Amino acid sequence: MLGNKFLIQFILVIWCGFINTQDLEQPTLHANPVIVSDTVFAKLGTYRGFTDDGTEYQKTYFFTRHFKGDWTNSRYFCKSYDLELVTMETLEEARAVLTMADNNSILRSYTSVWLNIDAVTLTIKSLTEWFWTKSGKKISYPIPWRPDAPNNHVGNENCLTFGRYLTSGKFGFDDARCENGGNPIPCQRIDLLIPK
Ligand SMILES: [Ca+2]
């Protein structure tokens, strides 16, 4: 519990530093055409769409075949491969990623699986206050929660994930403890970025 409190404080410090040094009007996406290792990552899919400010973008999503990590380690892991922990810029993109997960045979082979998303909340069991770590901005669309989520089920569920419980049901968003490990790490690559 204490560790989680410090993690949230750490995230706040990072945010403050980011907000002080970045122009929030700038797009938060950056094209990043790196080659991704097939031995480390499985491909989840590709999505192309528009952000709310009219920027056209394309992303490809991957998840680790063998490596597992908690939320903090997942961020570092993606970064170490010049990728980013996944974000979803719009509800349409979020739904597209959930459909990709539903259709993925590897992810469906897990009894239960929760993949970390690069967003956190500062209020336990918050229904609305979730923020992207990269930009500090609040998630602007209705989050496609799985049934009964967010539920703060085991307490301190401050990190955002998507997944499914047991082999029943479809993939959806859920709140989870940031310390949760044992799941594949989902990373994204920005393939294309065309400002309006
Ligand atoms: Ca939960």
Residues 120-142 pLDDT 10s: 998 765 566 899 998 899 999 99
Instruction: Find the 71 Cα to ligand 1 centroid distance in Å.
Output: 14
Query: How far, in Å, is the centroid of ligand 1 from the Cα of 101?
Result: 18
pLDDT tens for residues 96-125?
999 999 999 999 999 999 999 999 998 765
Whole-number Å distance between alpha carbons of 41 and 103: 17
From the list 164, 153, 87, the residue with the least C-alpha distance to 120 is 87
The 3 state secondary structure assigned to 19-39 is: HHHCCCCCCCCCCCCCCCCCC
- Residue 170 in tokens: 């479809």
Q: How far is the CA of 193 from the centre of ligand 1 (A)?
A: 33
Residues, CB within 5 angstroms of ligand 1 (ion): 151, 153, 157, 174-175
Give me the helices (H) in 35-183, please. Answer: 71-80, 91-102, 105-109
Q: Domains (ranges, CATH) in the chain? A: 29-194 (3.10.100.10)
Ligand 1 center from residue 31 Cα (angstroms): 32
CA of 153 to the centre of ligand 1 (A): 5
CA-wise closest residue to 122 among 75, 158, 156, 176: 158
Comparing 56-65, 103-112, 119-128, 148-157, the range with the smallest average pLDDT is 119-128
Q: How far is the CA of 191 from the centre of ligand 1 (A)?
A: 31
Rounded to the nearest angstrom, the distance between the alpha carbon of 188 and the centre of ligand 1 is: 23
